[in-house]
Structure 1
Amino acid sequence: MTALQPPATAHGTSNRPGRPDDHVVVLFGATGDLARRKLLPGLYRLARAGLMPYRYRIVGSAPAASALTDEEFRAHARQAVTEFGAEQLSGAHWAAFESTLSFGAADPEDPQPLLAAVRAAEQAVGGSPRRLCHLAVPPSAFASVIGMLGRCGLAERARVIVEKPFGTDLASARALNETVHAVFDESRVFRIDHFLGKESVDNILALRFANGLFEPVWNRDHISHVQIDVPETIGIEGRAGFFEETGTFRDMIVTHLFQVLGFVAMEPPVRLEATSLRDEKAKVFEAMKPLDPAHVVRGQYAGYRAEPGVDPHSGTETFAALRVEVDNWRWAGVPFFLRSGKSLGRRRQVVALSFKEPPLRMFPVDAHTGGGPRSNTLVVDFDDPGWISARFLAKEPGPAMRLGPAAMTFRYADSTGRRRGLEGYERLLLDAMLGDQSLFTRADGIERLWEVSEPLFQAPPAVLPYAPGSWGPAAADDLVAPHRWYLPDIPVEDPGRGTT
């Protein structure tokens, strides 16, 4: 096995200590889907790679009605790692990891079983280990769990990871921030977005700020428009209760795509560390104009209202496309087009920066050359493993001056360094234990994003129907006109999926 290492990224993690301080990690919602698919396999992979603290324990927790014994929790973790883990179970490695696992039930009015489990874990570690409390629970439970941590003393020496979505509008985000800050100061709050833990998203910073080739043209003088596109082929997968209250805009746009926009549009930070990076992202959010509902398309795939648990008259959007404007000197006049939705034609995660055409066209451009999204574009695919591609026009072999699309592409799958990389949750769990907030969202930034979204909530456009497997309502194409969506117009070779 190739050993993993703390990722050496733009914000300087290569200079961090290799291992965090001694820890007791408390997983709230340890029997849930997120813990099963991501957290338990991720912690095991970190342990096997030697990136967990020298001394640590993991305490699972859930309401008393879902309580497990220690042995049942270990069996649950084994099944999770077997089914979803990137690393195969190894006898010695698994035995060492399994020995760190215990369980303590906790209800807001009766946290005693959890307290006993944490005390036992801390005694096993010795000294005064740090605590990391991961709230893998429904958003409706955040406030009660935070309050319980404060009342029973578990917030001492602790950091807290809070899952998305952080609020559902400006008022709820402010209320939740007040609840969290009554127990944890902002330096100990880690609002997690697994998109920001992706190597390929983090590499946007390296692409821009480590290369003189790109930064001088990363502005309104050279870039025509930007697209951030995250279509999904899946439906709501039985999550009607969550999705009916949330919808695609709250679930994907505010939480994920706006954060990626922050990385794409930010100014060079003074230093490559958490405070400076988050300051520059906050400036981007401050410069965002309030959303204009006339520049938003909401859609709902045919058959959504027949899903179990969905209101037969539901107006919840399963698709959202919108135009965003960042009103500062770098980006004034450059539209950012964002799109995401369920049951679409292809699953992708793409940033496409389209450059302006030369002021004087020397060569004829016809349908063969493509034009539009097929050329003059820098594409960052931030799916795992991801790739970066510069798309341009080049002369085709032959006597005539005939142009065709070409590309220069870097693929993470071809990089030997990828074997040492971490998946999003693994990376962010490690960062939280190290206390590095670079890739976590901040209170003021979250509130600002909900603030710019308020006009949409006040006057949402009607949802438009679209067929499953399509690219959403036709109005989304009108939204970007005279431009076109980069997807599904994929150039000659799609580095992530082969020739199209």
Structure 2
Amino acid sequence: MAAEEAKIKPKKMLLASDKVQKIKMRSEQWLMEKRDSFRSEPLNETIPETGCLSIIVLGASGDLAKKKTFPALFHLYRQGFLPPKEVHIFGYARTKISDDKLRSRIHGYLTSDKGASLDHSEDLSKFLQLIKYVSGGYDDEEGFRRLDKEISEHEFSKNTVEGSSRRLFYFALPPSVYPSVSKMIKQCCMNKSDLGGWTRIVVEKPFGKDLDSSEQLSAQIGELFDESQIYRIDHYLGKELVQNLLVLRFANRFFLPLWNRDNIDNVQIVFREDFGTEGRGGYFDEYGIIRDIIQNHLLQVLCLVAMEKPISLKPEHIRDEKVKVLQSVLPIKDEEVVLGQYQGYREDPTVPDHSNTPTFATVVLRIHNERWEGVPFILKAGKALNSRKAEIRVQFKDVPGDIFKCQKQGRNEFVIRLQPSEAMYMKLTVKQPGLEMSTAQSELDLSYRQRYQGVTIPEAYERLILDTIRGDQQHFVRRDELKAAWEIFTPILHRIDNGEMQPSLYKPGSRGPEEADELLAKAGYVQTHGYIWIPPTL
């Protein structure tokens, strides 16, 4: 019996050993599969957003950096999103100045959340000490090596393991130098290994001047960086009311059945300024109002107004739906475009005497899909007009069987005021108080200044820079989205550039060319008479 047990025992041990080996092999296979899946996951879901952070502002001595980028960083710092134990800020530009000189240049633009001066603020002095300046050219390898040395010394001082830090490069630069700067960063300033850190770049608009130049620029940057590392910033996507659009549309039951061609007659997306180019004439003349405002800012807003509900709030799912909208836009018809140029624009010494550049444009877009077939989307932008505002105006169709005879007063409209005086209000017809059965237009009003007293609405740049640090690309423009946007506007832009379409002159301080109002009427927009929305006062 004992001999038989001795013979059986080795077999049992062998079987147990085989099982262990199989389990071990399965475990190793599972780990390999998980590693592969981890590699395929988006960066923001796998990389911890902690540790040493270096923010590099390229073009640090320019207007954009001192008026927008540095103030946004300062407000993030004051709110605790840029802990001084983790963060250091580097300025890089061609101008040969000292650290203190850069600090003094931006000092006056760093204010409190309410716009008050902070000359003697402890926060301000501590923030300024985080800033270091490096001088060098945008195609200068030696300059970028010096920049990398300064960044590495900062990381070393924080006891950061090489390659585990975070490096954010903000391009406050003209697009012409994007390729050379991207190449220098890739050669000289990247993290040296993959230990949980990252390198990301933020590029400002304009992303090219037409489809070909945009694609060329995207290809040049795309050869050096993955799409997950590129953040194409459009500051309109950071505005509070623009951020609210998805919540309004998809979290409120009463909007869902109304948001379609059966109920909506037309949609206007408007950007108006009450001043001209004011010293930017030379720059503006290269681009014009369509490239500067409509093709990017207003078109991004259109996508959020018109898109279908994404399957989740993941950035890629939202951006997928935006691309579908752009790909559904029909070619623009000549008769649905009005161009204008304000009188006196060419008197700017930096503007050519015979400039054909529009300072005003109204463009009607048509979306060819089930939800929006037949609904005109009217994009309107202009300078030197009679008011300053940006808003979305959704106009509903007339009430059938109008027993109150009130159609002449105007239609129901849902208005989202993006700036200034952020608000949302619904224009509707009500009975006028009194003994008579007469109607008037009034509103259901959510004005942010009144409803959210004491709440500071963050600047768009603050939100978007924070999103970049967190690795959230939801509010940034993807490459295929950019291509689809340029495909819509490139044909008409080429015709303007070739002189085939001429802008009409309009007086500064007016509504723009009269032809624009005529186009609105042809598109079906009904002007409200006898009613003006007045923002509530505190």
Distance 2:523 2:213 in 1: 36
Distance 1:323 1:339 in 2: 9
- Equivalent residue in structure 1 for 2:215, among 156, 171, 174: 174
Offset of 1:155 from its aligned partner? 6.9
* Consecutive unaligned residues in structure 2, runs of 5 or more: 1-44, 193-197
Distance 2:206 2:445 in 1: 34
Is the aligned partner of 1:55 residue 2:95?
Answer: no
- Equivalent residue in structure 2 for 1:324, among 355, 358, 365: 365
| 1:117-155 deviations in Å (ceiling 9; x for gaps) | 222332334313210000001122222211221222337
Letter in 2 for 1:179: Q
Distance 2:235 2:349 in 1: 28
Offset of 1:419 from its aligned partner? 1.9
Letter in 1 for 2:151: V
Letter in 2 for 1:469: G
Q: 1:61–1:105: 8 Å Cα contact kept in structure 2?
A: yes
For 2:333, the equivalent position in structure 1 comes to 292
Offset of 1:326 from its aligned partner? 1.0
Letter in 2 for 1:333: G
Offset of 1:17 from its aligned partner? 12
Offset of 1:200 from its aligned partner? 0.8
Offset of 1:497 from its aligned partner? 8.5
Distance 2:360 2:484 in 1: 23
Question: Does 137-146 or 217-226 show the bigger shift?
Answer: 137-146
Shift in CA distance, 87/430, structure 1 to aligned 2, threshold 3 Å: farther
Offset of 1:421 from its aligned partner? 3.4
Offset of 1:480 from its aligned partner? 1.4
Is the aligned partner of 1:101 residue 2:131?
Answer: yes
Q: 1:59–1:121: 8 Å Cα contact kept in structure 2?
A: no
Distance 2:112 2:58 in 1: 21
Runs of 4+ in 1 over 6 A off after TM superposition: 15-19, 484-490
Letter in 2 for 1:402: S
Distance 2:130 2:536 in 1: 39
Shift in CA distance, 452/216, structure 1 to aligned 2, threshold 3 Å: same
Matched ranges for 1:445-484 at <5 A: 445-460=481-496, 461-482=501-522
Distance 2:48 2:419 in 1: 27
Matched ranges for 1:485-500 at <5 A: 491-495=531-535
Three-state SS of the structure 2 residue aligned to 1:382 is: strand
Distance 2:48 2:517 in 1: 48
Offset of 1:74 from its aligned partner? 2.1
Shift in CA distance, 347/323, structure 1 to aligned 2, threshold 3 Å: same
For 2:290, the equivalent position in structure 1 comes to 249
Question: Does 73-82 or 238-247 show the bigger shift?
Answer: 73-82
Offset of 1:478 from its aligned partner? 1.6
For 2:57, the equivalent position in structure 1 comes to 27
For 1:37, the equivalent position in structure 2 comes to 67
Q: 1:24–1:118: 8 Å Cα contact kept in structure 2?
A: yes
For 1:306, the equivalent position in structure 2 comes to 347
| 1:221-248 deviations in Å (ceiling 9; x for gaps) | 1100000010111111211221111000
Question: Does 479-488 or 111-120 show the bigger shift?
Answer: 479-488
Structure showing greater radius of gyration is: 2
Is the aligned partner of 1:149 residue 2:190?
Answer: no
Shift in CA distance, 398/79, structure 1 to aligned 2, threshold 3 Å: closer
- Equivalent residue in structure 2 for 1:120, among 150, 153, 157: 153
Distance 2:530 2:473 in 1: 36
Q: 1:377–1:391: 8 Å Cα contact kept in structure 2?
A: yes
Shift in CA distance, 281/327, structure 1 to aligned 2, threshold 3 Å: same
For 1:6, the equivalent position in structure 2 comes to none
| 1:199-223 deviations in Å (ceiling 9; x for gaps) | 1111111111111011221111110
Letter in 2 for 1:126: N
Three-state SS of the structure 2 residue aligned to 1:257 is: helix
Q: 1:20–1:434: 8 Å Cα contact kept in structure 2?
A: no
Matched ranges for 1:130-279 at <5 A: 130-154=166-190, 157-279=198-320
Shift in CA distance, 26/436, structure 1 to aligned 2, threshold 3 Å: same
Shift in CA distance, 488/148, structure 1 to aligned 2, threshold 3 Å: farther
- Equivalent residue in structure 2 for 1:75, among 104, 109, 132: 104
Distance 2:453 2:186 in 1: 42
Distance 1:237 1:489 in 2: 34
Distance 1:155 1:192 in 2: 23
Shift in CA distance, 101/223, structure 1 to aligned 2, threshold 3 Å: same
Matched ranges for 1:354-369 at <5 A: 354-365=395-406
For 1:391, the equivalent position in structure 2 comes to 427
Offset of 1:484 from its aligned partner? 7.1
Letter in 2 for 1:118: I
RMSD: 2.5
Q: TM-score with structure 2 length normalisation?
A: 0.84
Distance 1:189 1:74 in 2: 28
Question: Does 189-198 or 85-94 show the bigger shift?
Answer: 85-94
| 1:306-327 deviations in Å (ceiling 9; x for gaps) | 1121000000110111100111
* Consecutive unaligned residues in structure 1, runs of 5 or more: 1-14
- Equivalent residue in structure 1 for 2:391, among 350, 353, 357: 350
Shift in CA distance, 324/224, structure 1 to aligned 2, threshold 3 Å: same
Q: 1:104–1:115: 8 Å Cα contact kept in structure 2?
A: no
Letter in 2 for 1:104: V
Q: 2:134–2:147: 8 Å Cα contact kept in structure 1?
A: yes
Q: 1:394–1:405: 8 Å Cα contact kept in structure 2?
A: yes
For 2:165, the equivalent position in structure 1 comes to 129
| 1:420-449 deviations in Å (ceiling 9; x for gaps) | 431100111111111111111111011111
Q: 2:421–2:535: 8 Å Cα contact kept in structure 1?
A: no
Shift in CA distance, 486/18, structure 1 to aligned 2, threshold 3 Å: farther
Q: 1:277–1:438: 8 Å Cα contact kept in structure 2?
A: yes
Three-state SS of the structure 1 residue aligned to 2:504 is: strand
Distance 1:488 1:472 in 2: 18
Distance 2:464 2:477 in 1: 12
Distance 1:33 1:334 in 2: 40
Offset of 1:485 from its aligned partner? 6.2
Q: 1:293–1:459: 8 Å Cα contact kept in structure 2?
A: no
Could you say which structure has the greater relative contact order, defined with CA pairs below 8 angstroms and 6 or more residues apart? 1
Identity %: 36
Q: 1:30–1:61: 8 Å Cα contact kept in structure 2?
A: yes
Distance 1:115 1:334 in 2: 53
Q: 1:224–1:355: 8 Å Cα contact kept in structure 2?
A: yes
Offset of 1:83 from its aligned partner? 9.7
Q: 1:288–1:324: 8 Å Cα contact kept in structure 2?
A: yes
- Equivalent residue in structure 2 for 1:401, among 437, 440, 451: 437
Distance 2:174 2:525 in 1: 34
| 1:32-84 deviations in Å (ceiling 9; x for gaps) | 11111111111111111101145010000101xx1221122222232321599
Offset of 1:91 from its aligned partner? 3.4
Question: Does 109-118 or 428-437 show the bigger shift?
Answer: 109-118
Matched ranges for 1:410-449 at <5 A: 410-416=446-452, 419-449=455-485
Q: 2:175–2:205: 8 Å Cα contact kept in structure 1?
A: yes
Shift in CA distance, 293/483, structure 1 to aligned 2, threshold 3 Å: closer
For 2:15, the equivalent position in structure 1 comes to none
Distance 1:155 1:55 in 2: 16
Offset of 1:85 from its aligned partner? 7.9
Three-state SS of the structure 1 residue aligned to 2:389 is: coil
Question: Does 112-121 or 141-150 show the bigger shift?
Answer: 112-121
